Amino acid sequence: MTAKGLTLTRHILLEQRAHPAATGELSTLLAQIGLAAKIVARAVSRAGLVDILGVTDEINVHGEEIKRLDEYANQTFINVFGHSGLVCTLVSEEMEKPRHLPENCAQGKYILFFDPLDGSSNIDVNGPIGTIFSIHHRMSGHQHETPKEWLRVGTDQVAAGYVVYGPGTILVYTAGAGVHGFTLDPTIGEFLLSHENIRIPARGKTYSINEGNSALWQPQTRTFVDYLKEPDAGTGRPYSSRYVGALVADFHRTLLHGGIFLYPGDIKKPQGKLRLLYEAAPLAFVVEQAGGRAGTGTERIMDIRPTDLHQRVPLLIGSSEDVAMAEAFAQSRTKPGPQMRK
Ligand code: AHM
Ligand code: MG
């Protein structure tokens, strides 16, 4: 049992003690993610100044054009992990191909998958945004990496998590021993333990989906959402609707309060919108470690072996009972029977 207020680095080191064979590299890697998150958080907090002042410090110092924040966040991760000796390859939503860091490959045991700035359309309206990350071991015997190295099943993840840049900056991670959240104290520049051993409620009171797409939904999605809206005090319905439009923010609320987030396949986008390797799989690892569930409607997210680096998957994620119920609807051909209405 650890205490609130521990720094992220100290917490990671304490977790490492449970693995006597650990070399400390994973701990250093997670701490470096914390560093990248702080750099991105600083830029995010000043994003509004770009319109007012027309410049940022980055321009003044480096004489470069203003970069879009998502490019800036991506470059931050490249800078932080370049010459770190930790990560041989970076796979990012912002980069079509994996980015090799050959200087790290002699000793770097890991591959980092990440979405540097998720929900970036929220920047203009000062809404919450985030970063998502997923860490895999490099596969042994692969001196020269092949696509097999990057197309990894979620159950192989060593650690995963996300950062929310909201009213505060919160970093949440799992290394397979529970889920822990840290809030950035900007006055000392440290992430401090604020949410120890997060457990998602088995059932929630909210659903989160882009209802603007409802005309394109599969009938099963419509039936499920209609069901959640039907008043029934016995099952806590109607559920409330919440949708930020930034996956990390919608997921973070769902993790803390319970409920379900859905980005299903529809007529226009049969595979939905969200990407498997650096959006769905890491959040699935986190939610399962917190006692929740994540699937496509027919398959567990963590079991999907990707065939493409930027592959999309339908995502139903959140409280175990809510997601199980959504899956029962997704798999039903007809209107669900009364057993689902309990
Ligand atoms: P992004 O990674 O390019 O920002 O896109 C992913 C975002 C998610 O954060 C969010 O859940 C989803 O897109 C919202 O999509 P929509 O506007 O279709 O509801
Ligand atoms: Mg994204």
Q: Are 221 and 330 in contact (CB under 8 A)?
A: yes
Which-ligand-closest: CA of 122?
1
Between 139 and 82, the more confident residue is: 82
Q: What percent of the chain has pLDDT over 90?
A: 76
Q: Is the pLDDT of residue 37 over 50?
A: yes
273: confidence class by pLDDT, cuts 50, 70, 90: very high
Quick check: is 99 in a domain? yes
Quote the CA–CA distance of 104 and 276 in Å, as a whole number. 26
Report the pLDDT averaged over residues 49-72.
54
Q: Do 15 and 155 belong to one domain? A: yes
Quote the CA–CA distance of 115 and 326 in Å, as a whole number. 26
Q: Do 56 and 147 belong to one domain? A: yes
**Lowest mean pLDDT across 26-35, 65-74, 92-101:** 65-74
Quote the CA–CA distance of 12 and 54 in Å, as a whole number. 39
118 lines ligand 1 (CB under 6 A): yes
Q: Do 252 and 173 belong to one domain? A: no
Q: Is the pLDDT of residue 56 over 50?
A: no
| Closest approach atom of ligand 1 to CA 274 | 6
273 lines ligand 1 (CB under 6 A): yes
Last-in-domain residue among 169, 195, 221: 195
For β-strands 315-318 and 110-118, DSSP reports them as: unpaired
Report the pLDDT averaged over residues 15-25.
81
Q: Do 67 and 190 belong to one domain? A: yes
Q: Do 236 and 284 belong to one domain? A: yes
264 lines ligand 1 (CB under 6 A): no
Q: Do 119 and 183 belong to one domain? A: yes
Distance 246 CA to ligand 1 centre (A): 6
The CATH number that applies at residue 214 is 3.40.190.80
Quick check: is 3 in a domain? no
Quote the CA–CA distance of 61 and 70 in Å, as a whole number. 19
Quick check: is 117 in a domain? yes
4: confidence class by pLDDT, cuts 50, 70, 90: confident
| Closest approach atom of ligand 1 to CA 261 | 11
In terms of residue numbers, what domain contains 272?
206-330
Nearest one of 30, 211, 267, 260 to 135, comparing CA atoms: 30
Site to substitute for ligand 1 among 266, 273, 283, 312, most atoms within 8 A of C-beta: 273
Quick check: is 119 in a domain? yes
Q: Give me the pLDDT at residue 144, please.
A: 61
Q: Do 222 and 181 belong to one domain? A: no
**Chain segment 304-317, per-residue pLDDT in tens:** 999 999 999 999 99
How many alpha carbons lie under 13 Å from residue 116 in its C-beta half-sphere? 24
Q: Are 135 and 112 in contact (CB under 8 A)?
A: yes
Site to substitute for ligand 1 among 118, 120, 207, most atoms within 8 A of C-beta: 118
Q: Do 277 and 231 belong to one domain? A: yes
Last-in-domain residue among 195, 222, 257: 195
Q: Is the pLDDT of residue 335 over 60?
A: no
Q: Are 197 and 1 in contact (CB under 8 A)?
A: no
Q: Do 213 and 279 belong to one domain? A: yes
Q: Do 190 and 234 belong to one domain? A: no
127 lines ligand 1 (CB under 6 A): no
**Lowest mean pLDDT across 66-80, 99-113, 175-189, 230-244:** 66-80
246 lines ligand 1 (CB under 6 A): yes
Quote the CA–CA distance of 231 and 284 in Å, as a whole number. 30
Q: Do 268 and 185 belong to one domain? A: no
Report the pLDDT averaged over residues 89-108.
92
Which-ligand-closest: CA of 251?
1
Q: Give me the pLDDT at residue 24, please.
A: 87
Quick check: is 341 in a domain? no
Between 210 and 122, the more confident residue is: 210
| Closest approach atom of ligand 1 to CA 115 | 2
Which-ligand-closest: CA of 113?
2
How many alpha carbons lie under 13 Å from residue 197 in its C-beta half-sphere? 5
80 lines ligand 1 (CB under 6 A): no
146: confidence class by pLDDT, cuts 50, 70, 90: confident
Last-in-domain residue among 171, 195, 219: 195
Q: Give me the pLDDT at residue 142, please.
A: 54
Q: Is the pLDDT of residue 12 over 50?
A: yes
Q: Is 137 helix (H, G, I), strand (E, B) or coil?
A: strand
**Chain segment 289-305, per-residue pLDDT in tens:** 999 999 999 999 999 99
Q: Do 216 and 120 belong to one domain? A: no
Report the pLDDT averaged over residues 11-17.
88
Quick check: is 54 in a domain? yes
| Closest approach atom of ligand 1 to CA 263 | 11
Q: Is the pLDDT of residue 246 over 70?
A: yes
245 lines ligand 1 (CB under 6 A): yes
| Closest approach atom of ligand 1 to CA 246 | 9
Cα dist from 302 to 159, 208, 211, 269, 285, whole Å: 13, 21, 26, 21, 7
Q: Give me the pLDDT at residue 120, please.
A: 84
Which-ligand-closest: CA of 209?
1
Instruction: Look at ligand 1, atom 11, and give the residue with the nearest C-alpha.
Output: 247
Quick check: is 336 in a domain? no
Quick check: is 183 in a domain? yes
The CATH number that applies at residue 123 is 3.30.540.10
213: confidence class by pLDDT, cuts 50, 70, 90: very high
Distance 250 CA to ligand 1 centre (A): 10
Q: Is the pLDDT of residue 221 over 90?
A: yes
Q: Give me the pLDDT at residue 106, please.
A: 87
Nearest one of 117, 115, 110, 103 to 150, comparing CA atoms: 110
Distance 132 CA to ligand 2 centre (A): 8
Report the pLDDT averaged over residues 140-161.
84
How many folded domains does the chain comprise?
2
119 lines ligand 1 (CB under 6 A): yes
Q: What is the pTM of this model?
A: 0.93
Q: Is the pLDDT of residue 164 over 50?
A: yes
338: confidence class by pLDDT, cuts 50, 70, 90: very low
Quote the CA–CA distance of 21 and 13 in Å, as a whole number. 13
Distance 171 CA to ligand 2 centre (A): 16
